[in-house]
Structure formats: structure tokens, C-alpha cells
Amino acid sequence: MAIKQQKNHFSRRNFLQLGTGVIGAGVSVGVASNLATPEVAAAQNITNPDEALKALLDGNDRFASRKRRYEHQSYSRLQEVAKGQKPFASILGCADSRVPAEIVFDQGLGDLFVCRVAGNIAAPEEIGSLEYGSLVLGSKVILVLGHERCGAVDATLKGEEVPGKIGSLLQAIKPGVDKSKGQPGDKLENACKANILVQIENLKSSPVLSELIKSNKLKIVGGYYDLDTGKVSLVS
């Protein structure tokens, strides 16, 4: 299939073209001139993964307490990041319309590198995107953001037949659902949180991301969004 061939060609050689060198077992971040992003102001004065995670959680605190700053949402910011992007964090979130990452974390243009897909699953395409966001663009934390009453997780729990390609999403969520079985408490909440943890492990299976973690350039964490309060709590 053409899609499979395209994936197979996204190799070590392609990473070199994207501005990265893979040397031995490690990853060397050397930006090639052909795809180097121009220097632009970072989203915050953030230098490490811990600071990046704190900036995310502080932004969510502002959102949940109705104290949003609406920073980096001006026309001047639009012009600034048009020259290049340096997002400080990446979000692998659900496609649910009630969980827009830039809003719930009180961020703006150029701050977040966001992948959204039903069930916040780490399929090959999402993993590749997040590899790019961390390795090339310099994102320092990846937050897998699940949420309360997720419809995709609920459908997986119910196990009913679904049309079209929806089944491929549920198949990717099923390992988390299986791990949550027998846990005390709300079945759907347990499954949503277990799914977050499974997707984190899927991301960590990436050699690119695992090397960045080992070199203290990246953290991968999980968050659970409460639809009723707007609050994100860490689950990993």
C-alpha cells in the first residue's frame, strides 16, 4: 500500500533532512540549514521540561479559576510567530470539541504543538508528529490529555459494532480498557485514565522520544481533564 511505503521511507535519513542526526544509540539535535526554524521568541522563558510542565499547569489554574491572561493572542504575536515556531509544550489530546488545548491551558499562538484525535491515541501518525514537535521544534514536554466522559472510551467499553473506520480508534483504546477492568470506582473514569497511561507507553516506545527523555530534554506525562470544572489533574 502507498501509505505503508510512505511510512517506511520516514527513516533515519529523513530525520537528518529534518535537521536531526541520529548517532549510535543517541539522538543529536543538530539543525540543518535547509529546515532550520528562524529564531523567534519562545512561548515563555522556559529552559527545561519541569518549567514547561509548570507553565502548562499554571495556565490551566488560570483557566479553571477564571483568571485567564489571554497572552500571545494579539496580532503582533501572530506576526512574530509567522517567522517560525518554538512551542514549549506538545499536547496529544482528544478531538472532543469541549477540550481545546490552547484555551484550557491559557496559551496562545506559537505556544503549543497540538495533536488531536478521538480517544487521544498515539497512533504512528501522532507519534511521528510529536517526534517532530520535540526533536525539531524543541517542545520540552508532551502531555497526553484525556478527559472525563470520553465518548470514544465509552464506546470501547460498551463493545458495540461501529461503522467505517471508527473501529480502528476503538481498537487502539482497547488495551487501556482491558487494563482498567476490575478496578474499584467509576468504570468509564478508570478506563479513560488507563487509556492515557497506555498511550504514554506507546509514545515512550519511540526511540526518538526515549532518547530525548534520557538526555533530560523531554518529559511525557498524562493529564485528565474535568469537563465540569475545567481542571486538569496529572495521572502519571
pLDDT digits 0-9 by tens, 145-174: 999 999 999 999 999 899 999 999 999 999
| Structure confidence at residue 156 (pLDDT) | 98
The distance between the two most distant Cα atoms of the chain, rounded to a whole number of Å, is 54
| Structure confidence at residue 3 (pLDDT) | 40
| Structure confidence at residue 236 (pLDDT) | 85
Delimit the domains of the chain by residue range: 1-32, 41-234
Burial of 193 (0-12, 13-18, 19+ CB in 10 A): buried
Residues of the chain below pLDDT 70: 1-44
Q: What is the 3-state secondary structure (H, E, C) of 68-82?
A: CCCCCCCHHHHHHHC
pTM: 0.84
By DSSP bridging, strand 112-116 and strand 26-28 are unpaired
Q: Hey, what CATH class is 41-234 in?
A: alpha beta
| Structure confidence at residue 175 (pLDDT) | 98
| Structure confidence at residue 83 (pLDDT) | 94
pLDDT digits 0-9 by tens, 82-119: 999 999 999 999 999 999 999 999 999 999 999 999 99
| Structure confidence at residue 2 (pLDDT) | 42
Do 70 and 106 contact (CB within 8 A), yes or no? Answer: yes
* Separation of alpha carbons 116 and 79, rounded Å: 25
Nearest to 233 by CA among 198, 203, 189, 201: 189
| Structure confidence at residue 131 (pLDDT) | 98
* Separation of alpha carbons 113 and 91, rounded Å: 6
Say which amino acid occupies 181.
Answer: K
Phi, psi of 170 (to 5 degrees): -65, -35
Compute CA 187 distance to the chain's CA centroid, rounded to the nearest angstrom: 24
| Structure confidence at residue 44 (pLDDT) | 63
